[in-house]
Structure 1
Amino acid sequence: MKSVPVKIRPLSPTGRIPTYATDGAAAFDLYAAEDTIIGPGETKKVPLGFAVEIPPGYEMQIRPRSGISLNTKLRVANAPGTVDSDYRGEVVVIIDNIAEPHEVHPHRAVHVCLDGTAELALTARQPTYKIRSSDRIAQAVIVPVPRVKFVETDEELAKTGRGCGGFSSSGISLTERDCLVTLGYDVREIMSMSEAEVHARLETRLSPYVTAAKEEAE
Structure 2
Amino acid sequence: MSGPVIRVLREDWADRNVALPSYETAGAAGADIRANLMPEDRDTGFTLAPMERRIVPTGLRVEIPDGFEMQIRPRSGLALKHGLSLPNTPGTIDSDYRGPLGVLLVNFGAEPYTIGHGDRIAQAIVAPVVQATYEVVEALGDSHRGDGGFGSTGTK
Quickly name the TM-score band, shorter chain normalised.
Answer: 0.7 to 0.9
User: Match of 1:131?
Assistant: 115
Q: How many percent of aligned residue pairs carry the same amino acid?
A: 41
Q: Give runs of ≥4 in structure 1 deviating > 4 Å.
A: none
Alignment partner of 2:47: what SS?
Answer: strand
Matches within 5 A, 1:193-204: none
User: Match of 1:8?
Assistant: 8
In structure 1, what is the Cα distance between the partners aligned to 2:25 and 2:144? Answer: 42
Matches within 5 A, 1:170-181: 170-172=153-155
Q: Kindly indicate which of the two structures has a greater share of residues assigned to strand.
A: 2
Whichever residue aligns with residue 136 of structure 2, its letter is: E
Alignment partner of 2:56: what SS?
Answer: strand
Alignment partner of 2:113: what SS?
Answer: strand
In structure 1, what is the Cα distance between the partners aligned to 2:85 and 2:6? Answer: 26
User: Match of 1:46?
Assistant: 56
In structure 2, what is the Cα distance between the partners aligned to 1:146 and 1:171? Answer: 30
Name the TM-score, length of structure 1 as normaliser.
Answer: 0.64
Name the TM-score, length of structure 2 as normaliser.
Answer: 0.88
In structure 2, what is the Cα distance between the partners aligned to 1:171 and 1:2? Answer: 40
Residue 155 (structure 2) pairs with residue 145 (structure 1):
no
Alpha-carbon contact 2:74-2:84 (below 8 Å) kept: no
In structure 1, what is the Cα distance between the partners aligned to 2:51 and 2:131? Answer: 37
Give 1:2 deviation, angstroms: 3.3
In structure 2, do the counterparts of structure 1 residues 39 and 146 end up closer, same or farther at CA, with 3 Å as the change threshold? same
User: Match of 2:143?
Assistant: 160
Q: How many residues align?
A: 146
Give 1:99 deviation, angstroms: 3.3
RMSD of Structure 2 on Structure 1 (CA): 1.4
Alignment partner of 2:78: what SS?
Answer: helix
Residue 85 (structure 2) pairs with residue 75 (structure 1):
yes
Deviations 1:88-145 (A, max 9, x none): 1111111111235xxxxxxxxxxxxxxxxxxxxxxxxxx2111001000111111001
Q: Kindly indicate which of the two structures has a greater share of residues assigned to helix.
A: 1
User: Match of 2:40?
Assistant: none
Asked which structure has the greater CA Rg, the reply is 1
Which structure 2 residue ranges, 5 or more long, are not aligned? 38-44
